[in-house]
Chains A and B, each alone.
Chain A
Amino acid sequence: MSEIPTRAVRELTIRVLRCNPAEPEQTPEWQDFRLEEAEAMTLFVALSLLREEQDASLSFDFVCRAGICGSCGMLINGRPGLACRTLTRDLPDTITLAPLPGFELIADLSVNTGKWMRGMSERLETWVHDAGLADHNLAQVEAPMDPALAREIYELERCIECGCCIAACGTAQMRENFVGAVGLNQVARFRLDPRDTREDADYYELVGDEDGVFGCMTLLGCEDLCPKDLPLAAQIAFLRRKMARA
């Protein structure tokens, strides 16, 4: 029935880009680790084993290890992805791991996506804007919302701010201030939300420039590598049309 398929044991070479900015005398370099593959091994399991058994100083970030929190984005064989839910059996014998580009490096595979995302949120004001919020009557029955609309908003709300779309975006790699798919998706999400009282003119002020939606060159790396399969291309195209007319 639901048996996990078996396979002969492989020896994996895990090649990690090591760099610890706190030790400036060390230069970034690739380091190879060898590891025996186990059944249903994820990169979370593999990296944890490396740290436990081979190199205690290896830095990386895992939190939920279930593909939900977005902490463990890294370049896996050159492409961004969530390490916790990447099974080694889907990868070749040699696996290269590098930190997500486009973010401040903390050490090895650990990058400061949190700081970037907070900056993005502050800049795009990614919250429901409604003057009445502070003295909202909580005892009252909530305002109704169309069920289909709620589903649509959730579809965009599923973003976990892992940073994969930024690492997958040629524009973001060239231009530091580009808000990227993660930011544009947030704007699309709030624009869709009737509880947010902002209008297109307000959104235009946030993303109506080269660092916003008009900076996107439609390379579609975000669309293809988003771990949550968010409809990013559709959202950006939609936003571009709206903003061009705003």
Chain B
Amino acid sequence: MRILHTDVLVIGGGLAGQRAAIGARRRGLEVTIISLVPAKRSHSAAAQGGMQASLGNCRGAQGDNEDLHFADTVRGSDWGADQQVVRMFAHTAPKAIRELAAWGVPWSRVERGEHSITVNGQKQTVSEADAAHGLITSRNFGGTAKWRACYVSDGTGHAMLYTMSNQAIAAGIPVHERMEAVALIHDGERCCGAIVRNLMSGELVAYLARATCIATGGFGRIYRVSTNAIINEGMGAAIALETGRAALGNMEAVQFHPTGIFPAGILVTEGCRGDGGLLLDGAGERFMPGYEPEKAELASRDVVSRRMEEHIAAGHAASSRFGEHLWLDIRLLGEAHINTQLREVQEICQYFLGIDPARELIPVRPAQHYSMGGVRTDPHCHSPTLRGLFAVGEAACWDMHGFNRLGGNSVAETVVAGMIAGEAIADFCASPEGALTVSTTLAEEFHRREANKLAAIAGNSGGESAVELTRLMQETMTANVGIFRHGDKLQQAVNTLRDLLQRSANVGLRSQARGPNPELVAAYRLPRMLKLALCVASGALAREESRGAHYRDDFPRRDDQKWLCRTLARWPGDDAETPQLDYEALDVMGMELPPGWRGYGARDFIEHPDTATRQAQLEQALAAAGELDRHARQQLLMPFLHLLPAGLQARNQRLGDAP
């Protein structure tokens, strides 16, 4: 057995993992990243539209600040988020973007003078100030008060990931590519590395580390139609779940993006609508303003996706031989705009649909897009229940997204959380807790266990097919745990998934090829994906309310009284068939922004008994304090700066601020 030692093991080479790795490396630690694919091929590269940060440079962003970003994010989350974490995030996002700007991301910039923009289907002219010329510009995104999504044409994630990866290479951080973590090594209290399978040779290696950080991205592939990469199978979250100690938070909170191209499910960015694109129905009519007069196409994703499905159900879809869909119209933006600001969209339409979006409509339908849930952490990205285990990015439930993430907040989260986690990991390693005391016998034990499991799977001559079971899982999830959910269907889904989990023990392999045996990979990932799917379905079944992306036909109202809480799913043991669900209350009395109406979507909800009290308390505190600037005001209501590393606490300067 081969054992590799490193101070920090980062599982995942996307934006989140690499930023955390760079942070820890800068603090002098030896860091190793492992990744299923070359780091630059991680799915972060697919992010198109933008990264939210309240820079306030361009005209549409004027007056933006952390307070507005905070409020938009909390509203977007339908009050499911941890508000302190949202504050940490909103405060750090401008720093993250400025760091990336210094590192080389070619952010699109403000251009002085008059510009033609498209708002509500109409052309308007805006004028950009001389002083802002050359600063980072931003575009409009759903659910935001200001134009806050900073972008690089529509290759934002690509540009960010390349810059990040290049900086990681500059820092000399090794990335062990085509390596898959298949189990976390732990003693029930402390995580001390992972068992890793080499996807080229099949070799199992033990990586022992003082701190382990999961940054494995989302798990969209448990659904049939998803915008996610096909490697987004959630293996990081799954191996955390399998420890039985670490918990997965809010797994039922799954986002569906309004504009997956139909039927392939490939994403076209929200930037299309942010820049003025419209949604049309089968009759070629715009329908969103009828449902959402306030924000129309630019309500939050959960709301828009729901309205689209509602509209389809009401018989207004367009249809093709693949089924029913709606249209996205970006023709009105003009060819010049599309060819510079929406290049990837243009390419995707050209190659996958054979159409020119400057002239033709794009067929779209909501598709699974983002996992708000993931490995539950504290504000320092550290698992509260398994020490030494950190998690960042989409794989984590740091919980700034609650039950719905705003477009552009995810890549922002990856970098911000990475910055915070890098410091937290280094602090942890420097603390007495951070010493690695376990003996290699623990590693050997885990190694043996995984090797035996793999041998059993490879030698299984059972009659089940991994392909078939995977397909059944995906169909079940898409049909029964999708945008509209219902108790009966969810129960059915849980039953089916449980059954599939049992059947997955009987998957037989046809090929015994050595080396990168793709069939074996599918077979050992399947039960883990099923466990994640069970967490999603069970959590959704248990949560008898509608909040953010989690919508129950049978419980259509948000219920703050009973459900203002975070779901925590644990896998009780190897033979368990369903997760154990616990709930962590969100404390209204600690909130800066007590629950209310989001400003779009449903208006009625069941109020939490503390909401009025907290509201009064906040008002009183403000009245008693008298004149305060916004920073002091905020500090009074909900202090958070102490949670941030010292280097990230400074106030963000903006254009026009006194230096």
Contact = CB atoms under 8 A, between A and B. Distances in A.
Interface of A: 1-6, 20-23, 39-40, 42, 51-53, 55-59, 61-71, 85, 87, 106-107, 110, 112-115, 117-118, 121-122, 125-128, 130, 133-134, 136, 138-147, 150-151, 153-154, 157-158, 160-161, 190, 193, 195-196
Contacts of B516: 22, 59, 106-107, 110
B463 interface: no
Given A66-B46, A118-B175, A154-B153, A142 B133 contact: no
Given A68-B344, A139-B652, A147-B111, A114 B104 contact: no
Interface in B292-312: none
Given A69-B229, A142-B136, A157-B162, A58 B518 contact: yes
Contacts of A125: 170
B229 A64 contact: yes
Contact of B159 (A113, A154, A196): A154
A133 B101 CA distance: 11
**Most chain B CB neighbours (cut-off 10 Å) among A61, A106, A112, A147:** A147
B46 A138 contact: no
A66 B109 contact: no
10 contacts: A4-B353, A22-B516, A58-B518, A66-B267, A114-B37, A127-B104, A133-B102, A134-B26, A141-B654, A142-B55
Nearest to B231: A63
Contacts of B29: none
A147 to B, nearest CB: 4
Contacts of A61: 37
Nearest to A65: B230
B556 interface: no
**Most chain A CB neighbours (cut-off 10 Å) among B39, B104, B158, B162:** B104
A160 B43 contact: no
Nearest to A158: B155
Contact of B519 (A5, A57, A69): A57
Given A85-B352, A154-B152, A157-B162, A68 B99 contact: no
Contacts of B229: 63-65, 69
Contacts of A51: 518
Nearest to B132: A144
Given A51-B518, A68-B344, A142-B136, 14 more contacts: A22-B202, A22-B515, A52-B467, A64-B230, A66-B348, A107-B516, A125-B170, A127-B167, A138-B647, A144-B109, A150-B109, A154-B159, A158-B343, A195-B102
**Most chain B CB neighbours (cut-off 10 Å) among A20, A68, A150, A196:** A68
Contact of B655 (A107, A130, A141, A150): A141
A157 B106 contact: yes
Given A57-B517, A66-B46, A141-B653, A71 B41 contact: yes
A142 B101 contact: yes
Contacts of A23: 513-515
Contacts of B519: 56-57
A47 to B, nearest CB: 11
B268 to A, nearest CB: 10
Interface stretch (B77-85, B359-367, B450-458, B538-546): B359-367
A150 B153 CA distance: 10
B448 interface: no
Interface residues on B, range: 35 or more
B135 A139 contact: no
Contacts of A56: 509-511, 518-519
B650 to A, nearest CB: 4
Contacts of A22: 201-202, 513-516
Given A20-B513, A114-B178, A141-B653, A151 B45 contact: no
Contacts of B40: 69-70, 114, 117, 160-161
A61 B38 CA distance: 11
Lowest 7 A-B CB distances belong to which pairs?
A: A22-B515, A144-B134, A114-B38, A56-B519, A138-B95, A57-B511, A127-B166
A127 B169 contact: yes
A144 B102 contact: no
Nearest to A66: B266
A145 B37 contact: no
Contact of B102 (A59, A66, A130): A130
